[in-house]
Chain A
């Protein structure tokens, strides 16, 4: 069993994020996902709340704002304000996860 970190920088990969997360969880691994830049657009994907239920998820609040959303008053379904995070969260994932992917 391992911690798998996933760094999401593209808006095209929600199916991969879900597929990998579900498969990793089914094998007993913990999954931590951090969305940045255009990846934060996926916070509006219909599957995003489900992802938040099965993985530890955070997004870059600054990126989310740059994508046109309000990080204080429009927190994505599935997240709380503490999960509206900074790039430091990516550093934490690199520290904490034995396995790492970018999607």
Chain B
């Protein structure tokens, strides 16, 4: 049975941590779960084609990638959210993954 999974991606000293977590998010989408990520407290450079396609694919699979940082919305079209909204979304999740660090 599909589950709702949220990856929490907090500030990191290496952008690759976040980008690979998006790959993990996509992996769960492909495995028939509803997979979401939220990028918090850090900004990402402009996605290359690979990561832009991962984002598109996550959305095609009814997932989403949110960010609390407007720069990520502007640069990479992530969906804007607030920390309060993230908390509310977490209440609906079956699985919560504070990723890395």
Contact = CB atoms under 8 A, between A and B. Distances in A.
Partners in one complex: yes
Chain A interface, DSSP helix/strand/loop, else mixed: helix
Contacts of B71: none
B33 A91 contact: yes
Nearest to B24: A87
How many A residues touch the partner, as a band?
A: 10 to 19
B14 to A, nearest CB: 9
Contacts, number: 56
B95 A9 contact: no
Interface stretch (B15-23, B38-46, B84-92): B15-23
Nearest to A87: B27
Nearest to A11: B100
Given A94-B33, A100-B95, A38 B100 contact: yes
A11 to B, nearest CB: 9
Contacts of B3: 94-95
B21 A94 contact: no
Given A66-B20, A91-B32, 8 more contacts: A10-B100, A36-B20, A86-B27, A87-B28, A87-B31, A90-B24, A94-B3, A95-B1
